[in-house]
């Protein structure tokens, strides 16, 4: 499994699905907090450009709920056939499912709007399982035998949910698990391509959903990336300090680099919006310095 893991780490950095900032050039997150890395698992589709193109296609299709899954399935399977990174990722996903869960222990594979579909649809296709396409508005369709239909009751079926990324599992608790339950089924397993280790697996465990991931974002991922020279020693230290104490390390950075906030406010746009959010909510307790 180490070889598969090593390949996946390579894919994540080659496609910039994991991106680490240059030293002292931290990223702004939507929350108004800052940090040293971004994760965009869907870039494993082959590249950022190809992933964004598919997202645009999904956005243009998803309002037609009975037609969209077939078109998205066609797009992801075409990419599976021609892109070695995406194919390697999906093959690793399918092999993990087959070895870890035994395909006889579940009846459906589900995936949630939108990025889960990059991975859940090809996994279902390769493993020969019908796919439950979950929408953010709490609707769902079942895709099997190359067509979509609405099923009102799945008669106690067991479901494996495939996700691109798990953080706190809020999308599961807010939407995916309730939809599956309303269909008369049970989400038995969850498999994410990437687990950010921010409490999602534990949240699912409390809901009796067995959670796994191909890659867990721990220090080993970044140490491996440093060994392979995707990041340097300064970037590695910055990431490891952040992982050890996210708020404390970022508070220290802001205290040592007051120009970081000043520059963000001067730049305007999203950076300024997020800087104001940080300041107004005192997200790092800077007023106590």
pLDDT in the model for residue 289:
55
Residues 35 and 107 in one domain: no
How many other C-beta atoms can be found within 10 angstroms of the C-beta atom of residue 157? 18
Residue 263: name the closest of 30, 21, 24 by CA: 24
Domain carrying residue 29 = 2-40+221-288
pLDDT of residue 2: 54
In the chain, what's the furthest Cα-to-Cα distance? Answer: 62
Any domain includes 176: yes
231 and 211: one domain?
A: no
Amino acid 37: pLDDT: 97
Decide: 111 and 117 in contact? Cβ < 8 Å. Answer: yes
Asked whether 197 and 246 are in contact (CB, 8 A), the reply is no
Q: What is the pLDDT of residue 1?
A: 45
Q: What is the pLDDT of residues 188-222, one digit of tens each?
A: 999 999 999 999 999 999 999 999 999 999 999 99
Shared domain check, 35 and 83: no
* Predicted TM-score (pTM) of this structure: 0.94
Q: Please say which residue of 161, 185, 216 terminates a domain.
A: 216
Query: Is the same domain home to 202 and 235?
Result: no
The verdict on residue 55 lying in a domain is: no
CA distances from 108 to 11, 226, 287 (A): 27, 39, 52
- Residues of the chain falling short of pLDDT 50: 1
The answer to whether residue 199 is domain-embedded is yes
SS3 content of the chain, % helix, strand, coil (to 5): 55, 20, 25
Residue at 49 is within a domain: no
* CB neighbour class for 64 (10 Å; exposed up to 12, middle 13-18, buried from 19): exposed
pLDDT in tens, 56-75: 999 999 999 999 999 999 99
Residues 156 and 257 in one domain: no
CATH at 194: 3.40.50.2020
Q: CA dihedral defined by 234, 231, 240, 36, rounded to 10 degrees?
A: 90
Same domain, 89 and 225: no
pLDDT for 171: 97
């Amino acid at each position: 499994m180490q070889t598969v893991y090593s390949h996946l780490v390579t894919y994540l950095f080659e496609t910039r699905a994991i991106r680490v900032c240059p030293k002292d050039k931290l990223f702004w997150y939507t929350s108004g907090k800052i940090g040293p890395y971004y994760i965009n698992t869907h870039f494993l589709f082959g590249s950022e450009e190809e992933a964004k193109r598919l997202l645009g296609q999904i956005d243009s299709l998803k309002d037609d709920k009975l037609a969209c899954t077939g078109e998205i399935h066609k797009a992801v399977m075409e990419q599976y056939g021609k892109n070695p990174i995406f194919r390697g990722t999906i093959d690793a996903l399918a092999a993990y499912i087959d070895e870890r869960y035994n395909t006889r222990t579940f009846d459906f594979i589900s995936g949630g709007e939108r990025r889960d579909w990059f991975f859940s649809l090809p996994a279902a296709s390769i493993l020969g399982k019908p796919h439950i396409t979950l929408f953010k508005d709490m609707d769902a369709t079942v895709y099997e035998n190359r067509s979509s239909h609405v099923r009102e009751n799945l008669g106690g079926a067991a479901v494996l949910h495939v996700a691109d990324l798990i953080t706190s599992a809020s999308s599961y608790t807010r939407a995916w698990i309730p939809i599956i339950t309303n269909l008369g089924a049970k989400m038995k397993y969850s498999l994410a391509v990437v687990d950010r280790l921010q409490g999602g697996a534990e949240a699912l465990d409390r809901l009796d959903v067995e959670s796994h991931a191909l890659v867990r974002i721990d220090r080993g991922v970044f140490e491996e990336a440093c060994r392979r020279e995707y990041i340097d020693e300064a970037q590695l230290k910055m990431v490891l300090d952040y992982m050890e104490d996210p708020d404390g390390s970022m508070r220290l950075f802001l205290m040592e680099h007051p120009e970081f906030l000043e520059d963000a406010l001067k730049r305007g746009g999203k950076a300024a919006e997020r800087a104001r959010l940080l300041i107004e909510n005192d997200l790092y307790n800077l007023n106590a310095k």
